Amino acid sequence: MALEKALQQKNKIFLETKFKCRIVPSRDYPESSIADYFLWVINRYINKEEDKRFFKALESKFVEIYDVYDNEGRGKIYDEFDKFDTIKAIGLNKK
């Protein structure tokens, strides 16, 4: 459901994105574990700000981070020109 919501929000801003999503056991598809780890890294970066080491180690691997909660629920894409950081993630820069 989260993936579908993210794509719906992104489609409002950009061209329609097509995807096919199946839930499969990770023992058959270990690459799914990579996506899970990246999501864990971002979650830890946001919720445990004092421990940024995992995110900083992989920061160059993130091409885009799509924040479904930003921009009053319309979403926001962070990329190499507008880097994602905890201040943006937790909304301290918002009025």
- The rounded mean pLDDT for the chain is 76
For residue 7, pLDDT beyond 80: no
Q: Which parts of 1-95 are beta strand (E)?
A: 65-67, 76-78
| 24 alpha carbon, distance to own chain's centre | 21
Rounded Cα gap, residues 39 and 33, in angstroms: 10
The 10 Å Cβ neighbour count of residue 58 is 14
Interval 67-76 mean pLDDT: 79
> Measured between alpha carbons, how far is 60 from 74 in angstroms, rounded to an integer?
25
pTM over 0.85, yes/no: no
- Residue 5 CA to residue 2 CA, distance in Å, equals 5
Per residue in 32-60, pLDDT (tens digit) is 778 888 888 888 888 886 778 888 888 88
